[in-house]
Amino acid sequence: MNDVADGELMKQIAKGNSRAFQTLFQRHKGLVLGYGRRIVGDPSLSEDVSQEVWIRVVKAAANYQDQGTFRSWLLKIVRNCSLTLLEQRRGNLTADSESLENSPSQDDFEQIFSRQQEVKKIQAWIDELPDNQRVAMVMWLTEDVSYNDVASAIGVSEGAVKSLIFRARQTLETRLKGVS
């Protein structure tokens, strides 16, 4: 089944073929989990996103129209699930923290703490970007997709994606310059 197209797998899933689902899941699980993690910023929340995405994929299988690319359609679901979860849990996100060794020196502790604060600050700036800017930028930078795929996934034109990414980068660069 590994050589079967995603659209055909969706048809098989609609007929109840669990092997088709396993193939589709194995093919795209990293993409779903990784993209979800980049949007929500928390590994455990990204697992919740992933579960919801795959539930929606199975529910949508019977009505799936094989137009465009399956990957773009799937990324749109990930985006929507991630944003919904963020809205539900706004304010409860926590940044990943580095584990401290048993007894770090004072200098080591200060360096680790300083690095964590920088990462948290940048993550907060990214989180403050308007949703479309944040999603477009994260998707384009981390998921190795074209502007066209990003446009299809978030429902805007390719030119709009370029503009969203440009504005997001400008905002982040301005904030970084203000810190230095």
The model's pLDDT over 13-55, given as tens digits with 9 standing for 90+, comes to 999 888 999 999 999 999 999 888 888 888 888 899 999 999 9
d(Cα 16, Cα 29) in Å, to the nearest integer? 19
* Angle 52-57-63 from CA coordinates, rounded to 5°: 140
Judgement on whether residues 9 and 75 belong to the same structural domain of the protein: yes
Q: What is the DSSP letter of 62?
A: G
The answer on 50 and 24 residing in a single domain is yes
Q: pLDDT tens for residues 135-148?
A: 888 887 776 678 88
- Domain total for the chain? 2
72 with 115, same domain: the answer is no
26 and 63 assigned to the same domain? yes
Query: What pLDDT, in 10s, does the model give residues 60-76?
Result: 998 998 876 888 899 88
Domain of residue 1, CATH code: 1.10.1740.10
Residues near 93 by beta carbon (within 8 Å), at least 6 away in sequence: 40, 41, 42, 45, 86, 127
Q: Is the pLDDT of residue 90 over 70?
A: no
Its pTM surpasses 0.75: no
Domain range enclosing 157: 107-180
Give the chain's mean pLDDT: 80
d(Cα 40, Cα 37) in Å, to the nearest integer?
5
Is 47 domain-assigned?
yes
